[in-house]
Amino acid sequence: MTKTSAWTKRTPTALLVLSDGTVIEGHGLGATGAIEAEVCFNTALTGYQEILTDPSYAGQIVTFTFPHIGNIGANGEDIEDLNPAARNGAVGAIFKADITDPSNFRAGEHLDAWLKTRGIIAMSGIDTRALTVWIRDNGMPNAVIAHDPAGRFDIEALKERARAWHGLVGLDLAIETTSGQSSQWSEKPWVWNEGFSQNNAGDGDIHIVAVDFGIKRNILRLFSGLGCRVTVVPATTSAEDILAYNPDGIFLSNGPGDPAATGMHAVPNIRKLLETGIPIFGICLGHQILALTLGAQTTKMHQGHHGANHPVKDHTTGKVEIVSMNHGFAVDGESLPENVEETHVSLFDGSNCGLQVKGKPVFSVQHHPEASPGPQDSHYLFRRFINLIRERRGEAALAE
């Protein structure tokens, strides 16, 4: 990979400095300053706002392989984190082309202005294909992304920061992205020409308690759209306090960081919840922490899975679905105990993407069935969870 970008006719106002000393020049966008993070790439063609506000990307710089990012501007609706003021999500972004003026009826502002508001440091003018190939060959690097409109950089100091950064292994980032207190959720999925509607307070005879490790809004919307009452609780909420809400089902959310680190405080609580027989459903980090609770192991991936075009096979149906992915750690499928069945696998690399506990209403998936962005092939998993609850209550199942 070349160490300079295509920006040869203007002073570089942004740098990406990798831990191996590679320096990549570009044009700065968004917030100014410098920050250490892990660099990954995302292959989605659209949904950049949802990607950048997904708390699972905390501690990461997202390289977009699609060349034109920002053309449809930014709006106040395509946000996935619960607390935008906390700026949960990616800390940096890398684009190939300059951001053009927005051209979309939903646009509220230019993406560059939105990046500044969110505190995201970004850069354009990068050969994103070359960077993606580098990551595929070498793994996701630790790096520093820096933006100074005047182009003044202490490159040696940035190199040292990139070399010295500890990386994501061992980091419990969920503790930083979780909600500060419990709350009720009522917003339903977005509908064309109508936007978001609300459930009335107290609506729904099925009560879901969602443990927030860095939860995405669209997960909550899909539960609400299925007629559920949803209570969101912080990641550190004890099993006793969760059970005090008298839930019909317990959901373990997505989130960032090393699942083994988050599991230090989460696993004992989930172990107690498993003993109750209440249906449990996990996504992404929730899947990984559930696997750890059951006795499996997690590992750091070479390049991770980040995109909206990943093929996954559901062994319980025999069907292949195209899904959204966003994870740099994975469950080691070989480490699953005998009472746990592997339900989903990635058709890209064969890695584990789902599990269920034999004889119990407990399952989870690695991918993001709520999408936002991405295809809706896996929405059936939410109905599968509701059906486990209905079955436990002796009620008729919903059609998946």
pLDDT of residue 397: 86
Spell out the domains of the chain, with CATH numbers in brackets.
Answer: 14-164 (3.50.30.20), 174-392 (3.40.50.880)
pLDDT of residue 83: 81
Residues of the chain with pLDDT under 70: 1-9, 85-86, 200-203
* Distances in whole angstroms, Cα of residue 256 to Cα of each of 156, 179, 348: 30, 14, 22
Instruction: Show the tokens assigned to 110.
Output: 């230019």
Calculate ∠ Cα 152-154-158, nearest 5°: 125
Instruction: Show the tokens assigned to 316.
Output: 């319980």
pLDDT of residue 5: 47
pLDDT of residue 7: 44
pLDDT of residue 200: 66
Residues marked active site are found at 284, 368, 370
Which amino acid is it at 311?
P
pLDDT of residue 8: 47
Pick the closest to residue 120 from 198, 32, 194 (CA basis): 32
Alpha helices in 98-199 (DSSP H): 111-118, 128-138, 155-164, 174-177
Percentage of the chain lying above the pLDDT 70 cut: 96
Bridge partners (DSSP) of residue 92 are 61, 121
Percentage of the chain lying above the pLDDT 90 cut: 89
Instruction: Show the tokens assigned to 116.
Output: 């500044």
Write the pLDDT tens digit of every residue in 49-59: 999 999 999 99
| Phi, psi of 382, rounded to the nearest 5 degrees | -70, -40
Pick the closest to residue 261 from 242, 239, 282, 288 (CA basis): 288
